[in-house]
Structure 1
């Protein structure tokens, strides 16, 4: 294939996969403002709502290990498009559920297709990196954050004005149009890589992938802890009012979103290992200062600083997993994504249990130590820079 045409297709593919990340984040962000309505119209308690949200997370975790098989057989583009079809209508299905008995499986399905698409679009981003010979993973995750912001902002306004069903219908229409317009430009593997083992579900035999998964886990546990517990920490232990406490995750996610759009340039210049080391130190410093902060606003600034570091750690881990020689990128990413997202979907429950007994300041100190472990393991991410195009 002519080199200029090859690169043009890769550039189109880069923006197509960015659209996939935006699409996925938009649907997750659109679910967030539906949650209070969901609780009210089904007449469920906060405890039951917590179980329903856990069902969503379990659906995602259940689907992720199977995606390696699907990607290895059909290629990441086909898997992204296939899951996207179900994703488009899943929020509407949840919005239509008349009772908890139908809502629970609908939420499990919603989580499963969102999680499955997540693995496939990360695998596709790895392929784009190979064909462009440069990093795009961090900015791709930035588009996910941007989609989440757009979904949440539109949802709050539309639900208040027109109700939850109109909102879910509009979200479905936007998702369908975006998918039809952008996903046809996605690239895929030149030849899907077969599994290391026969059968539908195969786990990697390369132990390095499991170590990279630990890095992803240790990078995402702090993110989940800020999301779920930072506001409570500031209110109960640092004397913040509710309005001030809400700035903790806003500041953290804001700096993280900005840094994800800048992260590819940083990584292309300094390399994945050096970027990961510096990012881990920044993240650990921010979490440690937040745990020791004498006032709410110092803690908020510390969380914002931590976001600058944590932003690019998971994208680098995903690129490192997807570039392991001798292993399907889909198989590797399905495992690393499963391990990493456990840090957001499962670990915060344990953190809340411990924090309720010891306070959250010691918890954030321990989380800073987890980021130091990632700093020490950073050399394992060297494969993230293995993105040379073999045909160039």
Structure 2
């Protein structure tokens, strides 16, 4: 059991690091947008490139996890390549350099996401009890820390390049002891007949759809909440990051309890009521224009979305029709495709209407999560 506990600690740290990187990026989006003089449409297109590159990477890293072992792929990617993602964005001195850095960010961050979830599913099975929600809680904690450092560094006038560089160095140093923790992952030789990009089918298709809706909502809040608050509540850049910070903290808190809640009420009912809470939060965000209720609304959305993706990955890891890496990659391909389409939709709608109008997508997504919630159970009829 000590072996499992060490592996659980390693996976938890890696989930947190992955979240820190994303939260750090999200907290500085307004400054990056101002630095490169980006319109809402241009910003949406760049984030589209991030999502597109991530979708391509999902299947590649899923195959690599099956072939070389999820733990090996995860540790090497997180230690070597994840720190470079922030450095490349920090050093981008033109729109083309920024586009290249964002594509690299999408590939590495997305690929690391698939590999670490595959490793998490293995640790969960070896420990013989639900753990996936707690791992994703660590991601949310990391995202909150990353967003929080963005608020602090922006307040104290620390430049984005300096902020990103320091964060990258800390991540590299934190990973050095983690890569020494042993874990023998399952390995499977990939078939040459498998498609290059893994798409969900059969029972996994509705699971992927609900993941798509949840990740789309999460991506909207992560990538656009600061812009939304700056526009609607007329906040400065440092205060505008509070929306995603509170959202992440609420997600973290809910995910800490998610395994016990799902064990008691079942995946179906947990997801069903989560969708209703996210719907309430979306209505609050669209109704009020002042900081306090808006932040509360983003917090409710965080609580509502929190357990959906962990439940989906846990369900995929238990599928008996497809290998673990490919199953999780297929869920991520369509599910995290929300990162591909959502920011682009938001940017285009905001370009022709307003940022507030574009956020009408949030209650629609929450309602769709409510409708599809039963498919996160291994017995959808329940």
Of 107, 113, 126, which aligns to 1:118? 113
Residues 187-220 of structure 1 deviation map (CA, whole Å, 9 limit, x = unaligned): 353x323446535725357422222110101112
Match of 1:265 in 2: 260
- Cα deviation, residue 86, structure 1: 1.5
CA change 1:196–1:280 in 2 (3 A) is farther
Distance between the aligned counterparts of 1:235 and 1:96, measured in 2? Answer: 25
- Cα deviation, residue 231, structure 1: 6.1
Equivalent pair of 1:13/1:186 in contact (CA under 8 Å): yes
For structure 1, the 5+ residue unaligned runs are 1-6, 386-392
Distance between the aligned counterparts of 1:34 and 1:370, measured in 2? Answer: 26
Of 235, 238, 245, which aligns to 1:242? 235
For structure 2, the 5+ residue unaligned runs are none
RMSD: 3.5
Equivalent pair of 1:69/1:201 in contact (CA under 8 Å): no
Q: Does 1:148 align with 2:164?
A: no
- Cα deviation, residue 19, structure 1: 0.7
Match of 2:60 in 1: 66
Distance between the aligned counterparts of 1:96 and 1:339, measured in 2? Answer: 31
Equivalent pair of 1:72/1:328 in contact (CA under 8 Å): yes
TM-score, normalised with respect to structure 1: 0.80
Q: Say which is worse superposed, 111-120 or 128-137, in terms of deviation.
A: 128-137
Match of 1:220 in 2: 215
CA change 1:384–1:266 in 2 (3 A) is farther
Match of 2:204 in 1: 209
Q: Say which is worse superposed, 20-29 or 312-321, in terms of deviation.
A: 20-29
Residues 55-91 of structure 1 deviation map (CA, whole Å, 9 limit, x = unaligned): 3333322211212211121121111123222223332
Q: Does 1:12 align with 2:6?
A: yes
Match of 2:125 in 1: 130
Match of 2:318 in 1: 323
Residues 26-83 of structure 1 deviation map (CA, whole Å, 9 limit, x = unaligned): 223344566577667xx63214665544433333222112122111211211111232
Match of 1:82 in 2: 76
Distance between the aligned counterparts of 1:311 and 1:20, measured in 2? Answer: 18
Aligned length, in residue pairs: 374
Match of 1:183 in 2: 179
TM-score, normalised with respect to structure 2: 0.82
Q: Does 1:23 align with 2:17?
A: yes
Distance between the aligned counterparts of 1:126 and 1:149, measured in 2? Answer: 24
- Aligned to 2:221, the other structure's residue is in SS state helix
- Aligned to 2:188, the other structure's residue is in SS state coil
Equivalent pair of 1:323/1:384 in contact (CA under 8 Å): no
- Aligned to 2:179, the other structure's residue is in SS state helix
- Cα deviation, residue 95, structure 1: 3.1
Match of 1:255 in 2: 250
CA change 1:276–1:53 in 2 (3 A) is closer
Distance between the aligned counterparts of 2:379 and 2:123, measured in 1? Answer: 13
Equivalent pair of 1:16/1:186 in contact (CA under 8 Å): no
CA change 1:373–1:194 in 2 (3 A) is farther
